[in-house]
Amino acid sequence: MLQTDAFSLVDGDQIEVLMVVLMGPLTICLRNLFFTHILSTNNCFGSATKFVFNFSLLVVPLLLITTLLSDWISVIFPILLSCILLSTLFSLYKFYHSDHGRPSVQSILENTIEDYQPTAFVTYLRALVLIFTNIAILAVDFHKIFPTRFMKTIGFGHSLMDVGVAGFTYILGVGRNVRNRAKSDQREQEKQKRRLVRRVLTSSPIVLGALGFGRTVVLKILDYGVSVTEYGVHWNFFLTLFVIELVAKLLPRRFNLLFGILFAAAQQMVLSMGCQEWVLSDSAPRDNLFSANREGLCSLLGYIALYYLASAIGEFISKNGPKVSDWIKFHKTNCIKLFLFTFGLAVCLCVQMLTIVEWLLGIFHGESPWCSIQLCLLDSINRTGLIFFLIGNILTGVINMSLNPSSIDPMSSVLYLSIYMLICAVESTDLPTLAHKIDAACSLR
């Protein structure tokens, strides 16, 4: 049973996609302001209450803005942005008139997040991509609330789900070189070795390969509908990640930027030699293993290029630190974007053209120098990313086999999606607790 209706023939509006993506950082700002002014001064709130507040402020708005409220994004975005700006100005006013004194412009530009700590930018980015991805992989089946323009595009174009797929590859690359470099004593190092759950969650080739091949086998046994226009008949995103991680293990770690450029050039060269027309052709036969999975196989070079370019950015963060002045220099990538769009190079996800590689790199950069609020739910999702994504895939399959999402009314659809995301969030929060209990049990031996 093959399925081909979860895609859009219409290219998404880039301004709308940008507003939806920016809703993520805005919800984080809203959450941080809320916790700063209310929860941080009140000790009566327990961990369960804070989890509910985090879920309500970080996950629910993103779920609604991609489903029921998707047609109102152009109204909601400026209103929310204005409220956050006013609240931020009020907070800065209070800070400047407090006993801390007023910082100079130079100190703000050179302000760096705590030394030897992973930047909040990476944690925020990973968590937001994972939240958006988990919402979309199930919401796309609820046709009455999920807009067609947000679905993955067929042929040329870009949409919200295209951002999620390539963004997942991007966060793997960035996280490759951004690590917690804190110096710890021998006891802390031994504790790290015992964290079995954390090691399992690492995106290793073995784990990703097992998930990819296992998913293909299970779907064939269950005769579960898959779309051949995305990755092909047998290929899936886990196998793409498996190849990326395998290549990353085999090649040296020192030449990320060079490898990124070479793979991007190779991808564009292959496409220009006729591969692009073959991949996008509806009449091309699928009479062997390669042609049956041409979408997934022919996009590998582009995904690897994106991974290595993101790794170069992660290396930049790791070496230079998240100084605001450094990130101002990084905006030079916008000149490349302007050049590409001036010459009319269109974006096509399934063949991973050079333009979508640069497009994703242009979306995800920036750094906030102020980080004083605990990340809570975002940190949990960030640390259990692979399991969070895997739980979403499993629940999506279970729900699709148990229900008929396309026929469910809008309000019930939102309820199902909310429960689904709540389960994913709870599991991501409980796993670090389980790891802590394992550490405690091991330390008693």
Give per-residue pLDDT as tens, 281-324.
Answer: 878 888 888 888 888 888 899 999 999 998 888 887 776 655 55
Tell me what the mean pLDDT of segment 256-263 comes to: 92
Separation of alpha carbons 255 and 309, rounded Å: 10
Separation of alpha carbons 265 and 294, rounded Å: 19
Structural domain count of the chain: 1
Query: In which domain, by residue range, is 55 found?
Result: 7-92+135-443
**Contact status, residue 129 vs residue 392, Cβ threshold 8 Å:** no
Asked whether residue 240 is assigned to any structural domain, the reply reads yes
pLDDT of residue 142: 92
State the pLDDT confidence band at 421, using cuts at 50, 70 and 90.
very high
pLDDT of residue 230: 79
Which range, of 170-179, 209-218, 308-317, averages the lowest pLDDT? 170-179
Q: Which is more confident, 187 or 279?
A: 279
Structure tokens at 74: 């152009």
Tell me what the mean pLDDT of segment 161-174 comes to: 83
Asked whether residue 1 is assigned to any structural domain, the reply reads no
Say if residue 112's pLDDT is above 70.
no
pLDDT of residue 287: 85
**Contact status, residue 175 vs residue 433, Cβ threshold 8 Å:** no
**In this structure, what are the phi and psi dihedrals at residue 275, rounded to the nearest 5 degrees?**
-65, -35
Beta bridge partners of 153: 8
pLDDT of residue 75: 92
Separation of alpha carbons 158 and 163, rounded Å: 8
Asked whether residue 125 is assigned to any structural domain, the reply reads no
Beta bridge partners of 8: 153
Say if residue 418's pLDDT is above 60.
yes
Q: Which is more confident, 183 or 294?
A: 294
pLDDT of residue 340: 54
In which residue are the tokens 């990320």 written? 256
Digit-coded pLDDT (tens) for 49-88: 778 888 998 999 999 999 999 999 989 999 988 988 887 7
**Contact status, residue 413 vs residue 405, Cβ threshold 8 Å:** yes
Asked whether residue 117 is assigned to any structural domain, the reply reads no
Separation of alpha carbons 245 and 169, rounded Å: 10
Cα 391 to the center of its chain, rounded Å: 15
pLDDT of residue 1: 42
Separation of alpha carbons 97 and 111, rounded Å: 20
Asked whether residue 129 is assigned to any structural domain, the reply reads no
Asked whether residue 104 is assigned to any structural domain, the reply reads no
Asked whether residue 193 is assigned to any structural domain, the reply reads yes
In which residue are the tokens 């053209």 written? 353
Asked whether residue 126 is assigned to any structural domain, the reply reads no
3-state SS class at 152: strand
Say if residue 172's pLDDT is above 60.
yes
For the range 89-94, what are the long-range contacts, defined as Cβ-Cβ under 8 Å and sequence gap of 24 or more? Answer: 91/33, 91/36, 91/37
Contact partners, residue 329, CB within 8 Å, separation at least 6: none
Q: Taking all residues of the chain, what is their mean pLDDT, rounded to a whole number?
A: 74
Separation of alpha carbons 160 and 13, rounded Å: 9
Digit-coded pLDDT (tens) for 332-380: 555 555 555 545 455 555 555 555 555 555 555 444 434 444 557 888 8
Q: Is the dihedral of CA 332, 335, 341, 344 positive or negative?
A: negative
